[in-house]
């Protein structure tokens, strides 16, 4: 049917009718808020390149996560650690004394309602800032699997609800699944960063997590931004190895990949709206160049519309506070 019978503007006439036919609505259950935990007490260290985000010591993180939950209802967080000391292979992260396991223990006691997704990677914990153990100038895949598995078990023992490997080693989902199962954590899900690209959009995060590589870059393990067939193969591998959820990262320059992954696999798909995507919005807003709250809503809606079931985003708290206040 075409004009004059069809008039698509009929369903746009009023807010009520637009609200009625809206296809995509982002709500608190879709969102995961990332946090950075650091040593010390009473520390709330602003991250310059990510306005409104902080490195929190454990005591301050507990307060912040309580506030997140009480003011917005967001009940899922993703944790990254900044350790006291680093080493060659990330072993510092593999015990209950490590920064993230200690934070998880404290959070589980103070705000048990909040679900904790623990990022698993070595880059925050190695002196060289790469995601694994270096042999002959490159990250050695199979040696790295050992620390990833040990780190995952330490996080699960502390009480992590979901294990989220972000390292991009081959075979790591299987290695982590086996280690979790052997230690009695067969019911702990794995959220795999499956299609993670070697992206310039991670720049601000590396300031936040103090995890920039000291030589070279991550392009021998993270994906080439030009490829999307390869993303499907990465996702397929992770599903075969036991991933319960798969992730595409970053989000905005990869909406086509999110869409292909969702329509190919019909699995829960997570999208990571990363630090650089966040900081660009903040910078433009600080200059008065954009309507920030509308931009944030449009961005998150587009990620969900593309096919993401879950969005990891530094906008989570602010977005929900604004939804609540604009009602």
The reply on whether position 195 binds ligand PBG by CB under 6 A is: no
Residue 87 to residue 130: CA distance in whole angstroms: 11
User: Strand 134-135 and strand 191-196: pairing?
Assistant: unpaired
Q: Which of 126, 133, 194, 275 binds ligand PBG (CB under 6 A)?
A: 275
Q: Which residue, 3 or 215, is less far from ligand PBG as judged by CB? A: 215
Catalytic residue list contains 249: yes
Q: Which residue, 78 or 158, is less far from ligand PBG as judged by CB? A: 78
Residue 186 known to bind ligand: no
Residue 215 to residue 210: CA distance in whole angstroms: 14
Exposure b/e, 5-32, CB count within 10 A at least 16 = b: eeeeeeeeeeeeeeeeeeeeebebebbb
Residue 144 to residue 131: CA distance in whole angstroms: 8
The reply on whether position 320 binds ligand PBG by CB under 6 A is: no
Q: How far is CA 272 from CA 37, 125, 279, 285, in A?
A: 19, 21, 14, 21
Instruction: With contacts defined by CB under 6 A, name the span among 36-44, 178-186, 201-209, 285-293 that binds ligand PBG.
Output: 201-209
Match 């040990």 to its residue by tokens.
150
Residue 218 known to bind ligand: yes
Catalytic residue among 13, 48, 66, 249: 249
Name residues contacting ligand PBG, limited to 205-244 (CB under 6 A): 205-206, 218
Element (H, E) at 261: helix 255-265
Residue 177 known to bind ligand: no
Residue 172 known to bind ligand: no
Q: Which residue, 52 or 184, is less far from ligand PBG as judged by CB? A: 52
Catalytic residue among 196, 282, 304, 317: 196
DSSP code at position 12: G
Residue 171 to residue 4: CA distance in whole angstroms: 58
Residue 38 known to bind ligand: no
C-beta nearest to ligand PBG: residue: 205
Catalytic residue list contains 63: no
Q: How far is CA 43 from CA 56, 207, 274, in A?
A: 6, 17, 24
The reply on whether position 123 binds ligand PBG by CB under 6 A is: yes
Catalytic residues: 196, 249
Report the binding-site residues for Zn(2+). 121, 123, 131
Task: List contacts with ligand PBG (CB under 6 A).
Answer: 119, 121, 123, 131, 166, 202, 205-206, 218, 274-275
Report the binding-site residues for Mg(2+). 234
């Amino acid at each position: 049917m075409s004009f004059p019978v069809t008039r698509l503007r009929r369903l746009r006439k009023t807010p009520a009718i637009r609200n009625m036919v809206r296809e995509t609505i982002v709500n608190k259950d879709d969102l995961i808020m990332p946090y950075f935990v650091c040593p010390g007490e009473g520390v709330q260290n602003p991250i310059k390149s990510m306005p409104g985000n902080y490195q929190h010591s454990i005591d301050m993180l507990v307060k912040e996560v309580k506030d997140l939950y009480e003011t917005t209802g967001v009940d899922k967080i993703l944790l990254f650690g900044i350790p006291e000391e680093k080493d060659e292979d990330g072993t510092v992260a593999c015990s209950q004394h490590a920064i993230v396991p200690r934070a998880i223990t404290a959070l589980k006691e103070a705000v048990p309602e909040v679900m904790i997704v623990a990022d698993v990677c070595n880059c925050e914990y190695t002196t060289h800032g790469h995601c694994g153990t270096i042999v002959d100038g490159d990250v050695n895949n199979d040696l790295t699997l050992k620390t990833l598995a040990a780190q995952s078990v330490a996080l699960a023992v502390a009480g992590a609800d979901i294990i989220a490997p972000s390292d991009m080693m081959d075979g790591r989902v299987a290695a982590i699944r086996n280690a979790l199962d052997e230690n009695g954590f067969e019911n702990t899900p794995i959220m795999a960063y499956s299609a993670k690209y070697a992206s310039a959009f991670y720049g601000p995060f590396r300031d936040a997590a103090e995890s920039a590589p000291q030589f070279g870059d991550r392009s021998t393990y993270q994906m080439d931004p030009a490829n999307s067939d390869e993303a499907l193969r990465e996702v397929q591998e992770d599903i075969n190895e036991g991933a319960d959820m798969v992730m595409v990262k970053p989000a905005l320059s990869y909406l086509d990949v999110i869409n292909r992954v969702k329509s190919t696999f019909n699995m829960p798909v997570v999208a990571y709206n990363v630090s650089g995507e966040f900081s660009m919005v903040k910078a433009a807003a600080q200059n008065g160049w954009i309507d920030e709250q509308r931009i944030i809503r449009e961005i998150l809606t587009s990620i969900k519309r593309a096919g993401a079931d879950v969005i990891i985003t530094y906008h989570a708290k602010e977005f929900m506070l604004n939804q609540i206040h604009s009602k």
